[in-house]
Amino acid sequence: MPAPEGNRFALGNSGNTRTDYDPKYCTVAMRLGKNGGGIEELAAKLGVARKTVYAWMETHVEFGDAVTYMRELAEVHWRKVGADALFNRSFRERLYSLQMMNRFGWNKKEENTVQGNVAQAIATMYARIQARKKTPQPDGAAIPLSA
């Protein structure tokens, strides 16, 4: 038995039956991204379910590109929010970190790889600089950093 019409919350009605796509939604997506919005906000703004947004992304290339760009704009927005708040005593870095991990897939531990023995090269360069600081140089003479 189908769900009764007019009751969008009835069993069998998803509540979001709107499936008509409009190219203007690309602009809406980018505007939301500039303010840090994501897929959920976009779906709510357009009055559709998230699955409809994903379906439109697959069937309308320009909309898929706009939503991808929206996500990038949102990440830029939230990075800026974090950078601006970094020196604020009330900044809650743990909450910020959790949001970035959940929203953008940030990993708490980032692997840094180093090619060659960079640590030794830095230590050698530092030792050379320290040694040259102890040796008086004529006025205007450049201090050579290579041996």
Residue 48 one-letter amino acid: V
Rounded to an integer, what distance in angstroms lies between the CA atom of residue 33 and that of residue 27?
A: 10
| Domain range list for the chain | 25-104
Q: What is the pLDDT of residue 139?
A: 57
Rounded to an integer, what distance in angstroms lies between the CA atom of residue 141 and that of residue 122?
A: 23
Q: What is the pTM of this model?
A: 0.58
Rounded to an integer, what distance in angstroms lies between the CA atom of residue 53 and that of residue 25?
A: 10
Residue with tokens 């320009």: 62
Q: What is the pLDDT of residue 38?
A: 92
Run of H or E residues at 40: helix 39-46
Helix, strand, coil % in the chain, rounded to nearest 5: 55, 0, 45
| Tokens encoding 29 | 């997506």
Q: What is the pLDDT of residue 58?
A: 94
Query: Taking the alpha carbons of 10, 11, 12, 17 in that order, is the dihedral positive or negative?
Result: positive
Q: φ and ψ at 12, to 5 degrees?
A: 105, -20
3 pLDDT tier (thresholds 50, 70, 90) = low
Mean pLDDT of 7-26: 68
Mean pLDDT of 117-144: 65
Neighbours of 74 (CB within 10 A): 22
Rounded to an integer, what distance in angstroms lies between the CA atom of residue 74 and that of residue 41?
A: 11
Closest CA to 34 of 2, 75, 86: 75
Q: What is the pLDDT of residue 103?
A: 80
pLDDT digits (tens, 9 = 90+) for 83-123: 888 788 888 887 888 888 888 777 755 555 555 666 676 77
5 pLDDT tier (thresholds 50, 70, 90) = low
Q: What is the pLDDT of residue 69?
A: 93
pLDDT at 147 over 70: no
